[in-house]
Amino acid sequence: MNILKKISATLTLVLLFTSLGSTLSFAQGRVSYQELAARNQQQNLYFDFFTLPSEDEGNVQFVTTFRIDYNFLPFKKSDQSSTNRQFYSPLALSMEVFKALEKKKPDDRIKVEGLESVSRTAWRDTAFAESYEQTQSNKSFISGFMKVELNPGLYNYMLQLTPGEDTRERTSRVRQIEINPYNNQKKGDVLLIESVSTENGKEQLTLMNFAQNVYYGKDFYALIHLPDSENDSNFSLTINKLEINREDTTRLQDVYTKNISKEELRNSVKPVIQEEGNEISLSLNKQMNAHNYALVKVPNSTFPNSIYSITVKREGQARPVAQRVFRSLWIEMPTSLLNLEVAIDMLRFIVSKDEIKRIKSGSQAVREQKFREFWESKDPTPNTEYNELMAEYYRRIDYAYEHFTTINNIGYESDQGEIYIKYGPPKNIERKFPTGEPAVEIWTYENRQFVFRATSGFGDFRLVSR
């Protein structure tokens, strides 16, 4: 169970959009919790690109969906009194497509100077936040999509982003795409779907909208375009665990294989993209002589946290008809789990020094195995990869760090922090101010009570009674 691997496939804007596909498993070497905490507040932008059928059968819709975390955006204080609009940040995004003259390799630097612009589209919206804390969050976000109609051919495209009230556009790296007739694509797109519902007799598919990421520990659906297929074709789906480094991609093992059933096929349908609030969805409209898809549920809750590929093949053929890489993303991953040594050290609130010494002995692989075994023995849901107890424990450490750290003490090393880590949030907190004496804070739980007394004017409290 490789539960402590954080995978983030994002496009981060500094002055250019840069692809950051980084696999953060246990970082080796000494690092402090504070360094990890600073590292864990990523400013992420998630972009996905795919094609959909057009109303004009000779064209193809080229679509980009995106999600931008609030902590990336420059918010300003609003003069509106509405509680959910205390802060605002306007955002403009555009995509321009150019006719390419020659095919480039993936690592080649592509230019658009002198090329014919064939299409341009733009999107504008405003993000609102109800508190300053929300403006700094990577759990709140704004999302949308853009699309252009293209004839089959070779194109270069780029994005331009204008965050806040800045008038300067930030331009992405230019990329290239080859558009084939929709039913004659070399490989069909695989779209990652968060949930499926039915409305007015039509299936509504909510897109994951996390680039190639999916939520760690949660099942999802894959909508698979099956180009140039007959209604009686048989297909199989395989999910492989991958290892990606700078040199190559290694397929480690098959983790899931199934034959796609007739019930999972969606023949003669046309997906229509739409947006409502922060959700982007596809409506599968039945249409004569339209396009063939499969909608398959992926049991991701049983997969280790890693990188995978989905491969779909037609029976009797070796060449895939559709393929895609996806990665687990634990968006609220506790900070300690970014580093094995820190994660083991933080066990000190619930295990003895001798037990920590035992777990920390041996090679990196041995230490990681012993750490996993420790938490596996306490997993309340052993049939899934997500360990709720482990996540809650390390979340409490993050809470203690964020809420009890002062200029004199680190939050999880304070008396209040230690009690919070061991017992969780109290049912009631009462603060008293005795005349001529330091403030007192009383934490009440179901069957116990803790009394803390202030030791400074900077928020430091010492446990004086339990």
Sequence spans of domains, the chain = 1-58+194-333, 59-180, 396-466
**Across all residues in the chain, what is the average pLDDT?**
87
Distance between CA atoms of residues 32 and 421, nearest Å = 19
Supply 387's token pair.
């360990």
Q: Exposure pattern of 297-308 as b/e (b: 16+ CB <10 Å)?
A: ebebbebebbbb
CB burial class (10 A; 0-12, 13-18, 19+) of residue 196? middle
Would the CA dihedral through 245, 249, 255, 258 be positive or negative? positive
More confident residue, 233 or 135: 135
Res 11: pLDDT: 23
From 14-18, 271-275, 429-433, 462-466, the region with the lowest mean pLDDT: 14-18
Supply 246's token pair.
């700078």
Would the CA dihedral through 416, 417, 423, 428 be positive or negative? positive
Distance between CA atoms of residues 223 and 365, nearest Å = 37
| pTM over cut 0.75 | yes
More confident residue, 358 or 199: 358
pLDDT digits (tens, 9 = 90+) for 54-89: 988 889 999 999 999 998 999 999 886 667 788 999
pLDDT at 245 over 70: no
pLDDT at 49 over 50: yes
Fold classified for 59-180: Immunoglobulin-like (2.60.40)
Note whether 159 and 64 are within 8 A (CB): yes
From 20-34, 310-324, 379-393, the region with the lowest mean pLDDT: 20-34
pLDDT at 22 over 70: no
